[in-house]
Amino acid sequence: MIVYDLRCAEGHVFEGWFEDSQAFENQKKKNLISCPLCNNVSIIKIPSTFGIKSSDNKQNIPDKQLTLEKMAKKLVEYVENNFDNVGANFATEALKIHYGVSEPRNIRGVSTQKEEETLKEEGIKFFKIPIPVPPETDS
């Protein structure tokens, strides 16, 4: 898993999580990466700070960074425990809920840029948060 600092053409800076650099390039080419503030898909990688792991790495990380890591972990746990994962059916389910076909509930999943545009046109509010996928482990 790799994390990049990204900037859209409007100057908004945000973070993106990717399996590897090729995954970033593929998603960028398909306009699957968009700014969470303005939905601009003209995205570039920008230089970011990095850390070097040491034997007692928790001692060297500032308290603020540890607090941010804990908050991010809690956010991921909350979403996983309180939102139904509808996968690639996110837009369809959001439309069903919006028009009263399905019971209102918290949902999470993935959508294409075109689906997101449709949701916006229908007046459906949603937001995107990057949730890192844990690395695969050998069993």
pLDDT digits (tens, 9 = 90+) for 58-75: 555 667 777 877 887 888
**Does residue 74 form part of some domain?**
yes
CA distance 62 to 117: 40
pTM of the model: 0.49
**Does residue 73 form part of some domain?**
yes
User: Do 74 and 112 lie in a common domain?
Assistant: yes
107-109 vs 84-87, strand pairing mode: parallel
**Does residue 53 form part of some domain?**
no
User: Do 68 and 116 lie in a common domain?
Assistant: yes
User: Do 116 and 64 lie in a common domain?
Assistant: yes
**Does residue 139 form part of some domain?**
no
Look at the chain and report how many structural domains it folds into: 2
Amino acid in the structure at residue 81 = N
pLDDT of residue 121: 94
Instruction: Answer yes or no: is pLDDT of 136 > 70.
Output: no
**Does residue 8 form part of some domain?**
yes
User: Do 111 and 78 lie in a common domain?
Assistant: yes
CA distance 62 to 121: 43
Instruction: Answer yes or no: is pLDDT of 17 > 60.
Output: yes
Alpha helices, H only, 14-133: 21-29, 57-60, 63-82, 90-98, 113-121
User: Do 72 and 117 lie in a common domain?
Assistant: yes
Helix (H, G, I), strand (E, B) or coil at 90: helix
User: Do 35 and 82 lie in a common domain?
Assistant: no
Residue 17 structural domain: 2-46
User: Do 35 and 64 lie in a common domain?
Assistant: no
User: Do 80 and 106 lie in a common domain?
Assistant: yes
Query: For the segment 84-118, what is each residue's pLDDT rounded down to a tens digit?
Result: 999 999 999 999 999 999 999 999 998 999 999 99
Average pLDDT over the chain, rounded to whole? 83
The structure tokens 């509808």 sit at: 86
Amino acid in the structure at residue 6 = L
Question: Which band of pLDDT confidence, cut at 50, 70 and 90, is reported for residue 19?
Answer: confident
* Lookup: tokens for 105: 């509930």
Rounded to 5 degrees, φ, ψ at 86 are -100, 5
The structure tokens 């994390």 sit at: 3
